Amino acid sequence: MDLSSLTNAGIPVAPNALLSDYTTFKLGGPCTALVTCADRARLTTAVYALRKRNIPFILMGFGSNILASDKGINGVIIRYTSDIPLITHNGNTLTVDAATQLDALAQYAVNSGLDGMTTFCGIPGTVGGAIAGNAGAYGAQISDSLQKLDLLGPDGNITSVPRDCIHFEYRDSDIKHNDAIILSAQFKLPSGDIGKMQELRIHIIKERESKHGRWQDNPCAGSFFRNIAPTSNAGQRQSAGGIIERTGGKDLRIGGAHPYPKHANIITRDNSASAQDVLDLTSKIQELVRSKTGIELIREVRLLGTFNGQGNADGFW
């Protein structure tokens, strides 16, 4: 596949790139080509060029919520992620390119005396990926302070959409299920005490590392399953990790895949593991929890490509 027009436009293209190099599970076979777009301008250039030539593609951010198939993907992946924070600041409003890392946005907000992002400190992934999956922690969700999004639609139009026109749920949104691409987002944040927020940031990052480990050392995609919806309006979500532990799921292991010892809902792996081992283990955990409690665990992590017994025939989501 000749993608030299993208390379000529300053957009890096890596043919046959291994998805294991671009996901926090560090698993996954090759894709036809991986196109990295570090900002909104490059992203729109790449999307228009591929659509003009009817070349289908899959969009990912940092790859921190994805389990990619060992067989890889017969298609192009666009990776929309930036190492540099792309943020503009006007009073209590921050406008952020979706390629920006969520932790960089949280850090920027803290250091600017803006509250509402501190609990997202230490979560890997891009702002775009976080909004698509309505990422959250400590009871807060990224959609809480969102004001509007710039979306690139499948028709090629860019629209500015107010937050209220998008349906968000616990770890889910409309955007995760349609072909719209988040280009940038605007957040309105209340003012806060910089010193207290900086202390909280340090505390949260330490707590995350002690409870979950670092993905660089324990490859994973964060919580594999969603927490369980409350059975009454008053109730809180039940921890999926707690239920897995109570039903004995923490002791299961398939190939090199196993739950993280300190947190049963984080599936990690040793070097011998395949993506198929991870999926087989999590299917076994689902069966165990279903048979012992009647609860259906719902996957939070997205599958990319085909797996034995699952996945789409065309090799995409």
Active site residue 239: no
Decide whether 65 or 107 has the Cβ nearer to ligand FAD.
Answer: 65
Decide whether 20 or 191 has the Cβ nearer to ligand FAD.
Answer: 20
Residue 24 touches ligand FAD, criterion: CB under 6 A: yes
Active site residue 223: yes
Strand 172-173 versus strand 57-60 pairing type:
unpaired
Q: Which of 173, 223, 269, 274 is catalytic?
A: 223
Q: Which of 40, 171, 226, 269 is catalytic?
A: 171
Active site residue 302: no
How many residues touch ligand FAD under the rule CB under 6 A: the total is: 34
Decide whether 2 or 217 has the Cβ nearer to ligand FAD.
Answer: 217
CB 285 within 8 A of CB 249: yes
Distance CA(315)–CA(5), nearest Å, equals 25
Distance CA(91)–CA(120), nearest Å, equals 21
Residue 305 touches ligand FAD, criterion: CB under 6 A: no
Of the candidate spans 117-125, 156-164, 230-238, 273-281, the one that interacts with ligand FAD by CB under 6 A turns out to be 117-125
Q: Which of 39, 47, 80, 279 binds ligand FAD (CB under 6 A)?
A: 80
- For residue 49, give Cα distances in angstroms to 36, 57, 80, 143, 308: 14, 11, 15, 31, 33
Q: Which residues contact 280 (CB under 8 A, 6 or more apart)?
A: 254, 255, 257
Decide whether 64 or 276 has the Cβ nearer to ligand FAD.
Answer: 64
Decide whether 218 or 286 has the Cβ nearer to ligand FAD.
Answer: 218
Q: Which of 302, 311, 315, 316 binds ligand FAD (CB under 6 A)?
A: 302
Q: By CB under 6 A, what part of segment 216-255 binds ligand FAD? A: 220-222
Q: Which of 33, 68, 98, 200 binds ligand FAD (CB under 6 A)?
A: 98
Residue 63 touches ligand FAD, criterion: CB under 6 A: yes
Decide whether 88 or 293 has the Cβ nearer to ligand FAD.
Answer: 88
| Site track for ligand FAD across 172-191, x = CB under 6 A | ---xx----xx---------
Of the candidate spans 13-21, 30-38, 59-67, 267-275, the one that interacts with ligand FAD by CB under 6 A turns out to be 59-67
Decide whether 197 or 267 has the Cβ nearer to ligand FAD.
Answer: 267
The nearest distance, CB 101 to ligand FAD, in angstroms, is: 8
Q: Which of 20, 143, 201, 300 is catalytic?
A: 300
The nearest distance, CB 52 to ligand FAD, in angstroms, is: 20
Distance CA(308)–CA(228), nearest Å, equals 27
Residues with catalytic function: 171, 223, 300
Binding site for ligand FAD (CB under 6 A): 24, 59-66, 80, 98, 102, 123-126, 128-130, 132-133, 135-137, 175-176, 181-182, 212, 215, 220-222, 302
